[in-house]
Chain A
Amino acid sequence: MRHASLLLLLVACLAGVPLTLALGHEGHHAECNDTTINAVKADIQAMSKGEAKTTATKEMETAQQLMAKDDMEGCKSHIHSAMEATEQ
């Protein structure tokens, strides 16, 4: 009975990990669609020249390539990285 409770507690804790990670990036709405891509591109255009802008541009190019290949998860991940670069 005690083992079962501990196991239940462990499962509950592990189940909360993805939620915690997701909440860490709640500020970024990284959908893989034209609206988000255009919004991030507008953000990038407004950035000053530098390493962050280069990174964001490359990430967006990769995201668009992945979107064309229907790899939506990969696309989201790169859009997310581009968004992070725009905030530097």
Chain B
Amino acid sequence: MRSASSLWGPLVGALLAFAIVGFAVVYSGLYNIAADVPHTQPVYWLLETVRDHSVEARARDIVVPNDLNDPTRISKGAGQYADMCSACHLAPGMKRTEISQGLYPRAPELRRKTNLTPAEQFWVVKHGIKMTGMPAWGVTHDDDLLWDMVAFIRKLPELTSEQYETLVKNAPKHEEMMQKMEMDHDHEHGGEHQ
């Protein structure tokens, strides 16, 4: 039976070898970061798993408004979605855009059903996701507008292309909503942020 002290040599050797390989991969330019060459499956799995658990952990304490089915919210969200999201996430009846085909990782097509909860969707919309092209809309939009977007995104998989077009056509203009948001901020000064 080997003593504990005799195990230190191989362990240190293995750690050193691991560090050297890691150093070589990072500094040699070996790993291709081009967006037109997908990650290997293990790397993709690692990044996807980190992303999913990170979102899940951070969205846990978010309080979801109970009016996500409110038609006014959905309508306001539709206008914002058409302006800010559809170029990457597409919409019912919409062909793939140049940007959606070039993004990597691909932006999920939100007309398909998702496993994300409303709180997780809100967190993603508000904070964005590093190195995916998903921006943090919370930098420029208040929580209320972001919940409008979530309300619409929840509704999106049920919509036909005609229903989508109608909703967008009748939605308040994005600029008007932004102006209203700024005016509300001037009046209120400080609301609760999640």
A48 CB contacts on chain B under 8 angstroms:
112, 115
The answer to whether A39 touches B36 (Cβ under 8 A) is yes
The answer to whether B44 touches A45 (Cβ under 8 A) is yes
Using a CB–CB distance below 8 Å, which chain B residues touch chain A? 36-39, 41, 44, 95, 101, 104-106, 108, 112, 115
Q: Does more than half of chain A's interface fall in helix, strand or loop, or is it mixed?
A: helix
A5 interface residue, CB < 8 Å from B? no
B95 CB contacts on chain A under 8 angstroms:
27
The answer to whether B106 touches A46 (Cβ under 8 A) is yes
User: How far, in Å, is A24 (CB) from chain B's closest CB?
Assistant: 15
User: How far, in Å, is A20 (CB) from chain B's closest CB?
Assistant: 20
User: How far, in Å, is A82 (CB) from chain B's closest CB?
Assistant: 13
B108 CB contacts on chain A under 8 angstroms:
46
Closest to B37 in A: A38
The answer to whether A45 touches B106 (Cβ under 8 A) is yes
A4 interface residue, CB < 8 Å from B? no
The answer to whether A45 touches B36 (Cβ under 8 A) is no
Closest to B114 in A: A48
State in angstroms the CA–CA spacing of A39 and B102 once bound together: 8
19 pairs, A vs B, C-beta closer than 8 Å: A27-B95, A35-B36, A38-B36, A38-B38, A39-B101, A41-B38, A42-B38, A42-B104, A42-B105, A42-B106, A43-B106, A45-B38, A45-B39, A45-B41, A45-B106, A46-B105, A46-B106, A48-B112, A48-B115
Report the 8 A-B pairs with minimum CB-CB distance, sorted nearest first. Answer: A46-B106, A42-B38, A41-B38, A38-B37, A45-B44, A42-B104, A38-B36, A42-B106
Closest to B41 in A: A45
0 or 1 for each of A16-55: is its CB under 8 Å from B? (1 = yes): 0000000000010000000100110111011010000000
State in angstroms the CA–CA spacing of A35 and B112 once bound together: 26
B105 CB contacts on chain A under 8 angstroms:
42, 45-46
Closest to B106 in A: A46
Q: Apart from A38-B36, A45-B39, what 9 extra A-B contacts exist at CB < 8 Å?
A: A35-B36, A38-B37, A39-B101, A42-B38, A42-B105, A45-B38, A45-B41, A45-B105, A48-B115
State in angstroms the CA–CA spacing of A38 and B95 once bound together: 20
B38 CB contacts on chain A under 8 angstroms:
38, 41-42, 45
A45 CB contacts on chain B under 8 angstroms:
38-39, 41, 44, 105-106
State in angstroms the CA–CA spacing of A46 and B36 once bound together: 14
Closest to A37 in B: B38
